[in-house]
Structure 1
Amino acid sequence: MNAGRLAINRLRERAPVDGATIDRFVARHGSPIVEGERATFLFRGEVDQAFVRHRVVGLPDPLEMTRFPESDLWTATTLLPEGSRVEYQIEVRRGEHHERFNDPLNPRLAHSPLGSSSVCAAVGYRVPDWVAHDPEARPGEIVEETMHSKALRRDQPVKVYLPARFNDRLRYPLLVVHDGDDYLGFAAMKTVLDNLIHRLDVEPLVVAFVAPEDRLKEYPDHAPHARFLARELVPLLTERLPLVDTPEARCLMGSSFGGVAALSSAVRYPGLFGSLLLQSASLVFTDIGFDHGGGPYFDPVVKFVNRYRSRPTRPVDRIYMTCGVYEPLITPNRSMVPVFRAAGMTVNYAEARDGHNWENWRDRLGPALSWIFPGPQKFVYE
């Protein structure tokens, strides 16, 4: 679309305009206004400055808004390629006071452990149809229990998903999920599993959702955490549940630091899992020196990834990797793909025009899980 015909430019051509005209414009269009590959963000208020705040690599942050002549309307227009999804907030300045909040003109929100953000969806983005509750899909069951972990020196809660029509006489593959409570709460993972299994896209499987106590300590190459998974959790679940007791029927997954935990645990216990699902894994490394710029929490991550890159191993047979092109981790994730392949693993790598957030990871679950655990019409475990 020609930028000169954007709605905000048509309004500008009519200036000066009164408050009632702006009221009608905002009521009609809301915010942001998505037209072709352009998005125009709006804010109304008597402030000294207004900005769009985001975490999109490649766009200025903050994205400064300009005041519409003789009004309280602030606007900013930026490029938004087809299929993009962006989370953002509005920041305003009144004198020396800064305030940041979700877009008052946009009802669409995304949620995370850190709070909520407004969502801007470009032309071509759609929430996958297997994300919403399907009344025809029989629901699986979440069983909550607590196990004592000698490795972690504490009681560890575990939530276990049992698929619909669970049958003790059958055998099921196993998926272990880092940040399990967040995947359930912010990525609708139970609903996703119910739908994918109902549609025969994914094999009926058992899923163990595990939540950390201190993820910044336990997830970056932490020996006690890996020992908990390998010597306590998997053996206990295999003893109590009818699981397929072979590596190819087991997958370990995680996002961000949870992706590091998945890879490092598999490296410490090679051959226990047949697959990894890594979503925006924080696989930060340095090619020279140790100045990575990520802060002290990334020190053990960089140490582990540097060591792995210097001596790559083959802890699993297959890896499914996803990452958003708008997040800083896109470069290290792209860089690790040839390293994994050179080590002899099959890698399925997918990118999305999205960022480091739970809805991005949610939207990638369908293709990832159907590749790792293909439906019964495609694959049968021996």
Structure 2
Amino acid sequence: MDAPKRRIVGHTLYSAHLNEERTVKIFLPPNYDEQLTYPILYCHDGNEFFSHGRIATIAADMILTGQLTPCLIVGIAVNHERRTADYSLFGERNDAYIRFVTTECIPYIESLYKVKHDPMYRAMAGISLGAVVTLELSFETTHLFNHMALFSGAYYNEVLTYASRIPTAHATSVFMLVGEQETDVETPGGHHDFLKANRDMKVLLEDMGLDVTYQEAPGTHIWGFWQRHIPEVLHFLDRGWKESST
């Protein structure tokens, strides 16, 4: 019998910190075996990573063709009405969201599924403000994950100032992607030059000693652009996981 191309399991968990339910989707690799343990990737804006980014389909194809180590991918659903409050560095629910991810979501998922409980095999990804909260989780938690994928980060001046005051980061490697046309992105707070902001953040992260893989490519602040580069991100993570095994 042919191996299934993909399997996605959904869970709903109540967050005491956010005082609401959150849906979490988990991609299980073809031939998922509970006798083994797997690397894991957590994604903010999780439903969008699965629907618009097609990350489960792409990962399954890469695993079946030997291009990607079998892994789990977790999509943490966003509360669209409270996204800025949750993801923004100084959002009113940002602290609660950080606690939800670290003390509720990750322990819940990793109690149910066979993953490697080692930051070298744990990664996190985010887009725009999701990239900001990914960075924050790296800065504020101790050895939670060692690999980051940051798409078109919304690095406003206050975020760059915050990052400039961090002496070091616990993560060891980061993939950064930004569109060459993201020079005038419309946001709820006005128009921003995300291309320059990502260039500035790259320098800050390198100064911290991070191994930064940085890429600018033709594109704007839309899922069509980010989806095209999902395979490159998965290749980047795969290299990190394989290096950890040697």
TM-score (norm 1): 0.57
Aligned residue number for residue 283 of structure 1: 155
Q: Partner amino acid for 2:153?
A: A
Distance, in Å, in 2 between the alignment partners of 1:263 and 1:341 is 13
CA shift, 1:379, in A, is 5.0
| Equivalent runs, 1:39-54 vs 2, <5 Å | none
CA distance, structure 2, for counterparts of residue 318 and residue 367 of structure 1: 14
In the alignment, the residues of structure 1 paired with residue 163 and residue 240 of structure 2 have an alpha-carbon distance, to the nearest angstrom, of 33
- For the structure 1 residues 366 and 137, does the alpha-carbon distance in structure 2 shift closer, same or farther, using more than 3 Å as the test? farther
Deviations 1:319-365 (A, max 9, x none): 11001010021101011112101101110011111111101111111
Deviation at 1:138, TM superposition (A): 4.0
Q: Which residue in 2 is equivalent to 1:172?
A: 38
Deviations 1:78-101 (A, max 9, x none): xxxxxxxxxxxxxxxxxxxxxxxx
| Higher alpha-carbon Rg | 1
SS at match of 1:374: helix
The alignment status of 1:207 with 2:207, answered yes or no, reads: no
Q: Assess if the C-alpha contact under 8 Å between 1:327 and 1:354 holds in 2.
A: yes
Q: List runs of 5+ in structure 2 lacking aligned partners.
A: 184-193
Q: Does 1:245 align with 2:122?
A: no
Q: Give the letter aligned to residue 234 of structure 2.
A: L
Match of 1:326 among 181, 187, 194: 181
Provide the rounded CA distance (Å) in 1 between the counterparts of 2:129 and 2:236.
23
Q: Spell out structure 1 runs of 4+ moving beyond 4 A.
A: none
Aligned counterparts of 1:356 and 1:137: Cα–Cα separation in 2: 36
1-structure distance, mates of 2:213, 2:145 = 17
Rate the CA distance shift 1:137–1:360 in 2: closer, same or farther, 3 A: farther
Greater share of helix? 2
Q: Is the 8 A contact 1:137 1:195 kept in 2?
A: no
2:240, 2:168 → 1: CA distance?
A: 29
Q: Is residue 218 of structure 1 aligned with residue 90 of structure 2?
A: no
Q: Partners of 2:41 and 2:240 in 1: how far apart?
A: 15
| 2:200 match | 335
Which residue of 308, 315, 319 maps to 2:163? 308
SS in 1 for 2:69: coil
Offset of 1:168 from its aligned partner? 0.1
Aligned length, in residue pairs: 229
| Structure 1 counterpart of 2:107, from 231, 235, 238 | 235
Quote how far apart the aligned CAs of 1:374 are.
3.4
SS of 1:203's equivalent?
coil
Structure 1 unaligned residues grouped into runs of 5+: 1-135, 286-301
AA matched with 2:140: R
Instruction: Give distance in 2, aligned partners of 1:184 and 1:240.
Output: 20
Q: Which amino acid in the other structure matches residue 72 of structure 2?
A: V
Label 1:150 to 1:319 Cα distance change in 2 as closer, same or farther (>3 A). same
> Aligned residues: percent identity?
25
Q: CA deviation at 1:137?
A: 8.0
Give the deviation of 1:270 after TM superposition.
3.1
Q: Which amino acid aligns with 1:196?
A: M
Distance 1:344 1:184, change over 3 A: same
Does the CA-based 8 Å contact 2:205-2:212 persist in structure 1?
Answer: yes
Query: What is the alpha-carbon distance in structure 2 between the residues aligned to residue 189 and residue 235 of structure 1?
Result: 23
Higher relative contact order (CA 8 A, sep 6+): 2
